[in-house]
Structure 1
Amino acid sequence: MKTAMSFALCLAVVVLFVGKLQVTEAVNCSPLELSSCAGAIMMSLPPSDTCCRKLKEQEPCLCGYIRNPSLSQYVNSPNARRVANICGVPTPRC
């Protein structure tokens, strides 16, 4: 019984991990995809539905943007964190 439960738990972890890999591989990491968020980030406007959708799509790319010296000031700004929070995108731990 314990072995079956352990196997089921391991299988669930593998399925989740493989699923995450497939999603990550399908994302085209391009900061231009977040252009619909510019007003919300730069001028404190409310984020649009398009902004939130794109931000969720680009979520696997956020650490790369944070590590990029040209982008980090925008992606890591208080307004960017506010927009991510409103859109339900967690702050990445890079």
Structure 2
Amino acid sequence: MANPSHRSPSPRLLAAVLVAVLVLLSADRVHVAEAVTCAATELSSCLSAITSSAAPSALCCSKLREQRPCLCGYIKDPNLQQYVTSPNAKRVARTCGVTYPTC
């Protein structure tokens, strides 16, 4: 049995993190007129694109743009960083026309 302090994250948590990564990738392309709640789960529509070679959906790209102000925070979060900085997350951002942020 694995040590509880070294437990692997659940697939759902990983999916949420991957979605958050995509949001981070759109940080410099969208101007947000209202406050955005940073929530990695908002990027759940990007999960299949981040975890496979599937193209991102229009909803995924839209959510990435909405979460733009949160991307650097996701990149700096040790729990999200590996997903936000993954090659597939960067590919999804490029496909969505979102410039990857420099934080």
**With structure 1 as the length reference, what TM-score do the two structures score?**
0.73
- Report if aligned partners of 1:56, 1:89 keep a CA contact under 8 Å in 2: yes
More helix by share: 1
Instruction: Mark the runs of 5 or more structure 2 residues left unpaired by the alignment.
Output: 1-30
1:89 aligns with 2:102: no
Shift of 1:24: 6.8
Instruction: Mark the runs of 5 or more structure 1 residues left unpaired by the alignment.
Output: 1-19
**With structure 2 as the length reference, what TM-score do the two structures score?**
0.67
Secondary structure of the 2:56 match is: coil
Q: Percentage identity across aligned positions? A: 62
Secondary structure of the 1:93 match is: coil
Aligned length: 73
Which consecutive segments of 4 or more residues in structure 1 shift more than 6 A?
Answer: none
Larger Cα-atom Rg: 1
| Superposed CA offset, 1:14-35 (max 9, x none) | xxxxxx5xx2751111110001
- RMSD over aligned Cα atoms: 1.3
